Amino acid sequence: MSDGDLNAQPGEPNGRTIGETEYSWCKAVPGGTGITVLSLLLTKLPEISNLQTVLHNFQISHPILNSKLRLNPTTNTFSFISRPTPSLRIQSFDLPSTAQLLRTLQNSNDQSVTPFHLILEHQLNQNSWRNTDRPSHSDADVFFASIYALSETQWALMLSLHTSVCDRTAAVALLRGLLVELGGIGSEAGGTEKGIKENEEVSLGIEDLIPNGKANKPFWARGVDLLGYSLNSFRLANLEFRDTDSPRYSQILRLQMNPQDTEKLLSGCKSKGIKLFAALAAAGLLAVYSSKNLLITRRRRFYHSAILNTHDVGGGETLWELANRCYMSFSNAKNSNKHFTDMSDVNFLMCKAIENPGLTRASSLRTALISVFEEPVMDDSNEMYQQLGLDDYVGCSSVHGVGPSIAIFDTVRDGRLDCACVYPSPLHSREQMQELIDHMKKILVDGCN
C-alpha cells in the first residue's frame, strides 16, 4: 500500500487514511469480497422514519458508518472522510417490485429456496462500490439499508456495509443495538440534530489497536513466512471446482442443529477443553476428505484472521481427535501472537492473489478450504425478538472474490446452532455444498452420540 496520505480538503470534516487490513478489504470489494450484510425477517413492518432515525443515531455514535470512502488514483491510497450529518436513506421495495425481483432470482435457483434467502443472496451480491459510471476518484458510501415487502405479513430488512467499516464483531454489535433501539429497551440515543463534532475522527485502523510490540517480527522471519505460505498453497486440497470461467457470486446455505444436539456438541467441546470453532473446522475437513469432490493432495487448510493452519487428514481421524488438533494448532499460533505478527503477511498475499489470480489453482482465488471464527455469537433474546416480530436473521460477508471455499458464520441462538455457510458460485454448486453441509452436520451429531 502506498504511504501517501489523502487528507480531507479544506472545509471538509476530518478523516483518515485506511490501515493495511482495511486496504486489503478495499482492494477485494470490486470483486465482491468485503460486503457485509445483516438481514432481518420481520412480521411487523417498522415505521420507516423511526428506523431511519435509529440508523442515523448509529452514524452519529460511530462516524465511520457515516464516512465516505475515497480513492486517490495517483497514490493508490484509500481514505475515510467523515460527513458532517447522517446521510443514509432507506430504499423501500413494495410487493410488486419485490415480486418482480424474486421472479428473476428464482429463474436461476432451486425453487425450494425461500424468498428471504433469495433476497439475502441478492443483497450480498449488490456491489454498490463497483460503479463503472462513477469516476475512480469520487467518493462512495459505506452503509446502505433496504426493506423488501415479501408478503402482506413479512418484510426483509437488509443492511449492507463495506467490511472495512464493519467486521463481524461490529456487525453483531450493530444488530443488537438496532434491535434494542427498535424495541425501545435501551436508553435514548442522541438525536440527529446533535450532528458530528467538527473535529471528530473516524475510529482507528486495526493495526493501531495492536498492543505495543505484539506485531514485531524480524525482517528475515517475515520473508520466510511469506515464502512458506506461498509454497504451501500449492500443496493444499480444494473442493472440486464446477465452473471456473463464469462470473462469481455468493450463495448461502445454513447448518442448523436442534437444542438437544447443540447442547451435546457444546458440552463435548467443554469437556475436552476446546472451542466450538475447532469442532466445526474438523467436521468440515472430514466431510471434504470423505467426499469424492477433491482436487490434489491430502492437506487441508483453514484460517482465522491472520492465523492460517494446514493439516494432513488421512481419513482415520475421529471428530474429536481432529478437533483437538485444530484447536491446539490455533491456540499455539495465537499464544505466539501470529494473529498480530502475520497480519501484514496475510494481507499482502491476499492483495497479490487479487492482482494475480493465476497464483491460485485454476485462478479460483481460493486462499483456504474453510474459514471459521474463534467465538460463536451467543444470542438468547427470543422474547424481545417476538415483541419486535423478528422471525429470523442472518449476518455474513461475501467470499466470492478471494477467500475460502466455505466461510462459516456461527451463532448459538436460544440453544440452537445456526451457521450461515457462504461459498462462491458457480465455482461450487448449491447441490455440491448442500451435500457437504449435510455431511458436516452428520459428523457433528454422530461424534457427540
- Whole-number pLDDT of residue 71: 84
- Whole-number pLDDT of residue 143: 94
Sign of CA dihedral 150, 130, 136, 27: positive
User: Of the candidates 329, 326, 288, 268, which has an alpha carbon nearest to the alpha carbon of residue 436?
Assistant: 288
How far is the C-alpha of 234 from the C-alpha of 372, rounded, in Å? Answer: 21
Question: Taking a C-beta distance cutoff of 8 angstroms, is the pair 93, 146 a contact?
Answer: yes
How far is the C-alpha of 441 from the C-alpha of 438, rounded, in Å? Answer: 5
Burial class, 99, CB count within 10 angstroms (exposed 0-12 / middle 13-18 / buried 19+): middle
Which residues lie closer than 8 Å to 260 by C-beta, 6 or more apart?
none
- Whole-number pLDDT of residue 346: 82
- Whole-number pLDDT of residue 215: 67
Burial class, 143, CB count within 10 angstroms (exposed 0-12 / middle 13-18 / buried 19+): buried
How far is the C-alpha of 403 from the C-alpha of 368, rounded, in Å? Answer: 6
User: Of the candidates 190, 97, 188, which has an alpha carbon nearest to the alpha carbon of residue 147?
Assistant: 97
Mean pLDDT by 10 residues, the chain (449 residues): 38 71 84 89 92 93 89 83 89 96 81 91 87 57 95 96 87 89 56 36 69 67 57 65 92 97 97 96 91 50 62 85 94 84 81 86 87 91 85 92 92 95 95 95 95
How far is the C-alpha of 318 from the C-alpha of 286, rounded, in Å? Answer: 9
Torsion angle defined by CA atoms of residues 95, 96, 97 and 101, in that order, rounded to the nearest 10 degrees:
90
State the residue for C-alpha cell 481427535. 321
User: Of the candidates 340, 68, 305, which has an alpha carbon nearest to the alpha carbon of residue 169?
Assistant: 305
Which residues lie closer than 8 Å to 332 by C-beta, 6 or more apart?
none
CATH 3.30.559.30 range(s) for the chain read 218-448
One DSSP character per residue, 416-443 reads EEEEEEEEEETTS-HHHHHHHHHHHHHH
- Whole-number pLDDT of residue 234: 53
pTM exceeding 0.85: yes
How far is the C-alpha of 225 from the C-alpha of 146, rounded, in Å? Answer: 43
How far is the C-alpha of 189 from the C-alpha of 61, rounded, in Å? Answer: 8
- Whole-number pLDDT of residue 310: 81
| b/e per residue 83-92 (b: at least 16 CB within 10 A) | beebebebee
State the cell numbers at 21: 487490513
User: Of the candidates 17, 53, 35, 43, which has an alpha carbon nearest to the alpha carbon of residue 154?
Assistant: 43
How far is the C-alpha of 45 from the C-alpha of 26, rounded, in Å? Answer: 34
- Whole-number pLDDT of residue 358: 86
How far is the C-alpha of 132 from the C-alpha of 74, rounded, in Å? Answer: 18
Nearest-5° Cα angle at 175, 173 to 180: 95
- Whole-number pLDDT of residue 100: 95
CATH architecture of 15-190: 2-Layer Sandwich (3.30)
For domain 218-448, give the fold: Chloramphenicol Acetyltransferase (3.30.559)
CATH 3.30.559.10 range(s) for the chain read 15-190
How far is the C-alpha of 282 from the C-alpha of 322, rounded, in Å? Answer: 6
Q: What is the helix (H) or strand (E) element at residue 111, kind and residue range? A: none
How far is the C-alpha of 412 from the C-alpha of 379, rounded, in Å? Answer: 6
Give the three-class secondary structure for 390.
Answer: strand
Question: Taking a C-beta distance cutoff of 8 angstroms, is the pair 414, 428 a contact?
Answer: no
The runs of H, that is alpha helices, within 125-275 are 168-182, 219-233, 259-271
State the cell numbers at 159: 443492511
- Whole-number pLDDT of residue 304: 42
